[in-house]
Amino acid sequence: MPDGFILFQPKDIVSGDFYWMQHHNDKVYFAACDCTGHGVPGAFMSMIGSSLLDEAVVEKEITQPSEIFFEVRKGFINALKQTGETQKDGMDAVLIAWDKQSTLQVAAAYSPVLIIRNGEIQELKPDRQPVGFHTGAQKPFTHHELKLEKGDTVYLFSDGYPDQFGGPKDKKFMMKNFKKLLLSIQDKTMNEQKTILETTMAEWKGD
């Protein structure tokens, strides 16, 4: 397993944001998910999302993240009996599968993946559709695959950090500032990176 950290600071005790991890058949899966709703409704969606991810990977043994998302989307629609007229429940999410050969497979639904390599950021653009009901056509999710190199750092995240309001003008932190912050801490250990991200956000919010 590579080094890493989890930064999870839900606004409420229960949350629509969740992270998920599973180890199955020589692959490690990670996901960062942002479900519709806040508080209890969001937490209910999180429970469904986590359960559907487990079911797709462990029970149905689907291995490719894009296909896992496709299966989870079907599960959301079926579980909530969505008609397409009144409900728009689901999640924005990013899912990666990593193996011992350092192959990284990625599916991204409204949430990008940032990979920092040799001091530069590579951004894997997400599909502009959620894992759940979508007013447009139910398209397959894009399959991304790349080989990780020694020293690469991969970041999965929801919109919570870049969209956090704060600062002297009470504005969003913004993605461009989030990217700059990540680039600035690449010489730090994972634990140090987590601390800097926590401290920066606390100062931004005025905590």
The DSSP element (H or E) to which 92 belongs, if any, is strand 90-99
Count of structural domains, the chain = 2
Over the stretch 153-188, which tens digit does the pLDDT of each residue have? 999 999 999 999 999 999 999 999 999 999 999 999
Residue 25 located in a structural domain? yes
**What whole-number distance in Å separates Cα of residue 199 and Cα of residue 207?**
10
Task: Map residue 160 onto helix, strand or coil.
Answer: coil
Q: Which domain holds residue 95?
A: 17-116+124-149
Digit-by-digit pLDDT tens for the chain (207 residues) are 678 999 998 877 778 899 999 999 999 999 999 998 777 778 888 999 999 999 999 999 999 999 999 999 999 888 877 555 446 678 999 999 999 899 999 999 999 999 999 999 999 999 999 998 877 778 999 999 999 999 999 999 999 999 999 999 999 999 999 999 999 999 999 999 999 999 999 999 987
Shared-domain flag, residues 174 and 84: no
Neighbour tally for 69: CB within 10 Å: 31
pLDDT of residue 88: 67
Residue 4 located in a structural domain? no
Q: End-to-end distance of the chain based on CA atoms, in angstroms?
A: 34
Shared-domain flag, residues 136 and 58: yes
Shared-domain flag, residues 54 and 98: yes
Shared-domain flag, residues 29 and 64: yes
